[in-house]
Amino acid sequence: MKLSITDHVHLVEPGDFEPSEHWYPRVLNSNIHPLVSHFLHLTTEQYIERYCRLNPQANPGALKEILNYQPRYFKWSGTDMMHITNNIGAKKLTVIETNSCPSGQKSMPLLDLNVEQGGYKRLIEDTFLPQVEKHDEEGALAVIYDKNPMENVGYASTLADAFGEDVYLAKFDKNDPDPPAKFEDKKLYIRSENDQWIPIRAAFRYVTQEPWNRIPVGSKTLLLNPIEACLAGGRNKSEAFLAYSDFNEKFKADGIGINTPETFLDVELNDIPEYFEALGKSMVIKVPDSNAGQGVYTITSEKELEQAMKALKQNPPEDKYLIQQLIYSNYIDGADKEKAWYHVGTIPDKKNRSYAFDLRLMMHYTSSGIRPLAIYSRRAKLPLNQPMPEGADSWDLYGTNLSVKQTEGWSYDDERLMLYDIRNFANLGLGIDELISGFIQSAMATYAIDQHAIKKFDHVNYEFESINS
């Protein structure tokens, strides 16, 4: 960590960036897979042409609109997808969720070995810097965060280099009784020496745990991303599904749509068992505003249902839940074979084990439209194609998130991280066509959530021009 000036506030200066502090050790020594590098260097026109070749029903004009779209709120996003197939072998990538403060830089091999700041530099210089230069507000620069210091110190260091000025790095936890950051009249302030409150003109935001509890709608301080992106689906799974549904209806005639598991919204606690029966005695229960793998329950037995119901009863009684179809390891008795989807899984290892995995694709808005920025995968703990050990939880078979919540903060089970490097990428069984399809799915999800945010928040009475032009 950099120069400490108060509790939970550090001052980051130009020249502070140290690569060894901002990537997992094995990522530092990895080389990006040539196919992945080729994918990331394709032009927008190439993405559209190839996608339409794979999907002849897709309207290239609609895809051009989406990839050239300028988001008002959601300029930086990360979409989690899973590679799935059905009983006739029709493979696809399906969107599980979209995140408004996505991690990923620390897991991404360098695209250019001569640019040591990698994707940190591309996001700050191509997305954040142009916004800040147009933003007419006085104050310093800051990074506010509540987890993932490895990446957030990296962003703060890159921000300091890009602007040639010191950057305040403040930990803004939801349970801090005396936080070092605050909003007054919708402007952000950071506590410095002698209890001085420093006004902030622009801040990079990685606040993920119920950020709406401390960040206002209509912030006068420019934020990447503003809270509107979270409330419209970047941190709320139910709002995201509404956004996806609106998108699919709008673009139905254009032959494109966002793939999702079968989903049911606003399910009351006492009604959850009915969905368990209707979905063939398996399902996924999600607390809509949870994240980092928290508040998600994979259910494959009466015992797991009972345990989940017990945990959910600790939530406020008025809470409602999102229920989704479970993507299976193999066919489960009682499921509808015509509607069932299965994990394709990793290429079997030398012990013939194949694991469920997800694909996180981070993207950002640039002068060239929406572009992919970073990509990695995470695999589950237990293999799909072997019997589950006695007493094991189905989450170990299906859950891929690496975040582990502990008493003293967060840790990461990075042993299950699958890099897109020369050594690991081939084990995923993905080709460039899957990467292109995944990027298009991610871009559509980002477009959908931003459009949903516009619909929900454009009535707010503040000037957008200086922030989003």
Indicate whether 391 and 312 sit together in one domain. yes
The model's pLDDT over 342-375, given as tens digits with 9 standing for 90+, comes to 999 999 999 999 999 999 999 999 999 999 999 9
Tell whether the model's pLDDT for residue 3 goes beyond 80. no
**What is the model's pLDDT at position 393?**
92
User: Model confidence over 242-273: pLDDT tens digits?
Assistant: 999 999 999 999 999 999 999 999 999 999 99
Of 170, 193, 224, the position where a domain reaches its end is 224
Q: Are residues 116 and 254 in the same domain?
A: no
- Is 469 a domain residue? no
Regarding whether 382 and 241 lie in a shared domain, the answer is yes
Question: Has residue 459 been placed in a domain?
Answer: no
Query: Of 224, 250, 284, which residue constitutes the final position of a domain?
Result: 224
Burial class (CB in 10 A: 0-12, 13-18, 19+), 313: exposed
Q: Are residues 255 and 393 in the same domain?
A: yes
Residue 463 has pLDDT above 50, yes or no: no
Tens of pLDDT, residues 29-87? 999 999 999 999 999 999 999 999 999 999 999 999 999 999 999 999 999 999 999 98
Residues 241 and 200 reside in one and the same domain:
no
Range of the domain at 59: 37-101+237-450
Tell me, yes or no, whether 216 and 287 share the same domain: no
Q: Are residues 185 and 286 in the same domain?
A: no
93 with 139, same domain?
no
Q: Are residues 301 and 387 in the same domain?
A: yes
Question: Using 50, 70 and 90 to split pLDDT, how confident is the model at 211?
Answer: very high
The tally of domains found in the chain comes to 2
Residue 456, domain member (yes or no): no
The answer to whether residue 300 sits within a structural domain is yes
Distance, in Å, from the CA atom of 337 to the CA atom of 331, rounded to the nearest integer, reads 8
Give the CATH number of the domain where residue 122 resides: 3.40.50
Whether 468 is in a domain gets the answer: no
Residues 297 and 312 in one domain: yes
Same structural domain, 42 and 90: yes
143, pLDDT greater than 50 = yes
Does residue 467 belong to any structural domain of this protein?
A: no
Strand bridging mode 320-324 / 283-286: antiparallel
Q: Answer yes or no: is 461 within a domain.
A: no
Residue 96 within a domain: yes
Q: Of 305, 286, 284, 282, which is closest to residue 239 (Cα–Cα)?
A: 286
Entry pTM: 0.94
Q: Are residues 199 and 276 in the same domain?
A: no
Domain end marker among 172, 197, 224: 224
